[in-house]
């Protein structure tokens, strides 16, 4: 047995975090296989095995901070590390001269022929695979981590499980407002994490069942594109060469790490790290006031954590209309979330008490925030590392961030398609899924184009925010003549019974045609209510089409009906300014 140690880090980094572990205990690993991903402020590296053997134990876990010389794993088996071979150590054989372990580790090779190979089994990849299989095509699906990708395992679903737990906790604390009394209410974060994990496990199991049910060939390992008709993948000692007519790249995205002094502090977390947190911080600083940052800010504030958000630009959720951004900012401050905008983070310092100090500048002055944990939520970048796109001749978009595709989701190589976050068009799971369907339809010979005009977006702050179609900001930029109809949830009966009266519904329509161009909702059930308005925008419905549709009472959907009325000269029935 020997220790496998970390021999190098990216650049001149002194330490890094374990981002991924590709193998587990008792698994076979061959020389050249990916073993660990180590993330540092100088960049990320993939540590490959320079030996072949059986993994006795993994000595680190994802999120651990490691430095050069640390033992990452213990390896059992033949001593075939390069330097050991050079020292003349012979391979172990039994008395009959049979090299047992050598034969065990001899790769098993296979070749398969398919119609489509999809690299990445996130919401884009697995949906594309199922769509293709249901259409009668033979499909191979390659995934190096866990089925479901970031969305299911470390994004959309896990964060919503956290959101739900935090809202239930908040409601218990505020139960006196409903004539109820709860004593000794507390949070056990391990159980919150366990509930999240159980939900994820159930959904991953469901997708795995669908993959098997649809006879999709699933390969767990890295997918290397050798040429536009050949993909190589390896899992353990099994090597598979896939001969394919078409390829769909669906490798997703990863958290962006900013080049910041002190970013390798053990207190600095990504959203992925925060979802597996072991203890509740007393103080949390969130760097980035976008969707990810604000969702976590509200979650942990509802849990009772002291939360501060530091945002570089002038507003949080800056892509939204000003009235939405202003409303959520006001609500955040009322809930006790401290918000610093127009602020530039300078560095992170660690204290002797194992806390960290975030240093940032605002109005030409330096400010200092002490925190137990710091969340970096500054966006995500396309995961194109290891795809060898330049060698294959696949073009990237104008900024070199993401694979360039046309409306059919084709790259510049006709039989290679790309979908989801790796294209860096719109980083939303439901967009990736629809792009996957469009790609498959075009592979089947249909002329289908991807449209981005009517894509609902959901933000799970407290209250929720949802938007679709054209914003008021964009309409004014295009100098369109519009009419805006608004209705506050404070005048909606169901919202009052829920105790959630903040926010409003806003409908934007064309002044001449009365067609609904877009909408935004901030308030209870926003992420569910938006789809009536998405349907209206998609089908070019007019305000009258919503007005003449009877909405059930008492429901929050009545606020949509009233906002449509507010966009007319008649005005809303249940509200007057």
Spatial separation of the C-alpha atoms in residues 137 and 68, rounded to whole Å? 48
- Residue 506: alpha-carbon gap to chain centroid: 28
Identify the three-state secondary structure at position 470: coil
Catalytic entry in 367, 525, 553, 561: 553
Residue 46 near residue 37 (C-beta atoms within 8 A): yes
Spatial separation of the C-alpha atoms in residues 356 and 8, rounded to whole Å? 26
The strand ranges marked E within 337-491 are 338-340, 344-350, 356-362, 365-371, 373-376, 380-382, 416-418, 457-459, 465-469, 482-488
User: Residue 489: what are its φ and ψ, rounded to 5°?
Assistant: -70, -15
DSSP state of 90: P
47: left (phi over 0), alpha (psi -120 to 50) or beta: beta
Residue 508 near residue 471 (C-beta atoms within 8 A): yes
Concatenated DSSP letters of 499-518: T----EEEEEEETTT-BEEE
Q: Which residues of 52-88 are buried (b: 16+ CB within 10 A; e: fewer)?
A: bbbbbebebeebebbeeeeebbbbebbbbbeeeeeee
Give yes or no: 553 in active site.
yes
Angle in degrees, 0-180, between the axes of helices 558-566 and 526-538, rounded to the nearest 10 = 50
User: Residue 418: what are its φ and ψ, rounded to 5°?
Assistant: -140, 140
Spatial separation of the C-alpha atoms in residues 385 and 415, rounded to whole Å? 21
- Residue 369: alpha-carbon gap to chain centroid: 27
Whether omega before 554 lies within 30 degrees of 0, making that bond cis, reads yes
Residues with active-site annotation: 553
């Amino acid at each position: 047995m020997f220790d496998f140690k970390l021999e190098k880090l990216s650049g001149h980094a002194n330490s890094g975090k374990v981002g991924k572990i590709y193998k587990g205990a008792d698994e076979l690993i061959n020389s050249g296989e990916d073993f660990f991903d180590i993330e540092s402020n100088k960049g990320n590296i993939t540590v490959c095995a320079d030996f072949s053997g059986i993994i006795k134990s993994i000595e680190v876990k994802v999120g651990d901070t490691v430095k050069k010389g640390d033992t990452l794993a213990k390896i059992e088996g033949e001593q075939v590390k390069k330097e050991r071979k050079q020292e003349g150590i012979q391979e172990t054989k039994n008395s009959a001269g049979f090299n047992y372990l050598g034969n065990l580790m001899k790769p098993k090779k296979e070749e398969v022929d398919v119609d489509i190979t999809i690299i990445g089994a996130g919401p884009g990849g697995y949906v594309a695979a199922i769509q293709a299989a249901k259409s009668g095509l033979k499909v191979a699906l390659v995934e190096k981590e866990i089925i479901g990708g970031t969305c299911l395992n470390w994004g959309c679903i896990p964060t919503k499980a956290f959101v739900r737990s935090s809202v239930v906790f908040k409601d218990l604390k505020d139960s006196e407002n409903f004539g109820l009394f709860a004593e000794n209410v507390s949070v056990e974060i391990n159980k919150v994490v366990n509930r999240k994990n159980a939900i994820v496990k159930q959904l991953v199991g469901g997708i795995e069942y669908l993959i098997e049910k649809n006879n999709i060939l699933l390969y767990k390992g890295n997918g290397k594109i050798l040429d536009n008709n050949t993909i190589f993948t390896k899992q353990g000692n099994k090597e598979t060469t896939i001969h394919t007519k078409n390829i769909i790249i669906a490798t997703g995205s990863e958290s962006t790490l900013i080049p910041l002094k002190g970013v390798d502090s053990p207190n600095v977390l990504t959203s992925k790290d925060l979802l597996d947190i072991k203890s509740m911080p007393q103080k949390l600083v969130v760097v980035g006031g976008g969707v990810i940052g604000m969702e976590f800010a509200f979650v942990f504030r509802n849990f009772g954590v002291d939360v501060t958000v530091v945002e570089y630009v002038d507003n949080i959720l800056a892509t939204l209309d000003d009235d939405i951004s202003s409303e959520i900012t006001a609500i955040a401050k009322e809930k006790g979330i401290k918000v610093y905008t127009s602020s530039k983070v300078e560095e992170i310092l660690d204290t002797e008490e194992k806390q960290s100090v975030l240093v940032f500048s605002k109005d030409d002055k330096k400010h200092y925030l002490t925190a137990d944990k710091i969340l970096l939520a500054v966006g995500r970048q396309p995961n194109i590392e290891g795809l060898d796109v330049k060698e294959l001749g696949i073009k990237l978009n104008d900024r070199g961030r993401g694979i360039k595709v046309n409306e059919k989701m084709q790259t510049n190589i006709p039989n290679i398609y790309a979908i989801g976050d790796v294209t860096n068009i719109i980083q939303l799971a439901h967009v990736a899924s629809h792009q996957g369907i469009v790609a498959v339809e075009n592979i089947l010979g249909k002329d289908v184009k991807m449209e981005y005009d009517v894509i609902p977006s959901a933000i799970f702050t407290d209250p929720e925010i949802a938007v679709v179609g054209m914003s008021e900001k964009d309409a004014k930029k295009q100098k369109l003549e519009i009419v805006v109809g608004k209705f506050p949830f404070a005048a909606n009966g169901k919202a009052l019974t829920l105790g959630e009266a903040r926010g409003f519904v806003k409908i934007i329509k064309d002044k001449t045609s009365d067609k609904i161009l877009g909408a935004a909702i901030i308030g209870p059930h926003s992420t569910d209510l938006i789809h009536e308005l998405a349907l209206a925008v998609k089908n070019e419905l007019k305000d009258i089409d919503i007005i003449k549709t009877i909405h059930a009472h008492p429901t929050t959907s009545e606020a949509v009906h009233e906002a449509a009325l507010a966009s007319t000269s008649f005005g809303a029935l249940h509200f007057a300014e």
